[in-house]
Amino acid sequence: MKVTRKIIVAIDGHSSCGKSTVAKDLAKVLSIAYIDTGAMYRAVTLYALRNNLIDNDIVDEKGIVESLSNISVSFTFNSETKSNETFLNGKNVEKDIRTLEVSNKVSYVSAIGSVRKQLVEWQRDMGSKQSVVMDGRDIGTVVFPNADIKIFMTASDEVRAKRRFDELTSKGENVTMDEVLNNIKERDYIDSTRAESPLRKAEDAILLDNSKMSIEDQFNWIIEKMRSKMLIQ
């Protein structure tokens, strides 16, 4: 299976609905690049936390924006785990950016207009030279509005919370189901109501509610949609 030409696959949707899992699988099977834009915002959030630019619910927006010139986010493929890992200023932070602490603050950081503007520039640059599968909140609406195919993924709050809870506890995090569910609801609200690039389904995006679908079902569903558009053979 391969792409018929240079293509951009945009996958948007709510938090913890499995965007990254499906996007990684697609990129791997099609032998094209995968870019996790959520990881980029998480890396900036981690930098802000480590440099005391976030204190509880007080976010030093000016300080974060001024720090962007000191931040470098990149991805490296790990041949052992067969997955991309996120690097912040040259250091592997893949595990650090997935904690609940970062999850609780990332929506605040990603709502800062100047942060989104800078990261959108980085993302467009990454996707300008190669075929990519890119997932996030505003790929199909802002980053690549002319993407070859746009998927908008969602699932019920409870299903997403259970998936996220299982992921965190499997990594040894001490969290409760209520904490995770509340975090998901709060992130949904912030993401969908922010002034800059709010989370919304693009008019030409295909809706995928995966509440009752396996990962394999989701993958096959997207592959079929791509075949119908003659993007793969």
Please check the confidence at residue 81 and state whether its pLDDT lies above 90: no
Q: Give the start-to-end residue ranges of the domains of the chain.
A: 8-228
Hey, what are 213's tokens? Answer: 């679908």
| Residue with more model confidence, 183 or 84 | 183
pLDDT value at 142 more than 80: yes
CB 121 within 8 A of CB 103: no
Q: Name the pTM for this structure.
A: 0.85
- What's the distance, Cα to Cα, between the start and end of the chain in Å? 6
CA-to-CA separations, 54 to 64, 108, 118, 208, in angstroms, rounded: 9, 10, 19, 35
Q: Which CATH class is domain 8-228?
A: alpha beta
| pLDDT above 90 (res 129) | no
Helix axes 19-30, 215-228, angle to 10 degrees: 60
Q: Are the CB atoms for 9 and 152 separated by under 8 Å? A: no
Extract the tokens encoding 66.
């001024």
| Residue 192, SS3 per DSSP | helix
CA distances from 9 to 33, 107, 132, 149, 173 (A): 10, 23, 6, 5, 32
Q: How many CB atoms lie within 10 A of CB 209?
A: 14
Determine which of 74-78, 161-165, 180-184, 229-233 has the lowest per-residue pLDDT on average: 74-78
Question: What pLDDT sits at residue 136?
Answer: 92
